Amino acid sequence: MPIYEYTCMDCRKSFTLLQRIGVGGAVCPWCNSANTAKQMSSFSCSPVGGAGAAGSGHTGGT
């Protein structure tokens, strides 16, 4: 199941929820408010710490 991120409109807190696709509506776990908005947070595509150890490290010289 995908994890959805919600933001409560009442207390302004954000929380994540495991939900099935297509299921809408979430209750804030902090204030029990149903006034929440689903955040469309696509999976992070930012190349953080990319595998790019470019550059010759060791200079061959025995």
33 scored as a contact of Zn ion (CB under 5 A): yes
Nearer to Zn ion, 10 or 39 (CB): 10
* Binding residue for Zn ion, selected from 3, 10, 23, 25, defined by CB under 5 A: 10
Any idea of the CA torsion for 6, 8, 13, 16, to the nearest 10 degrees? -20
Structure tokens at 61: 């010289």
* Binding residue for Zn ion, selected from 11, 14, 17, 27, defined by CB under 5 A: 11
Residues engaged in binding Zn ion (CB under 5 A): 8, 10-11, 28, 30-31, 33
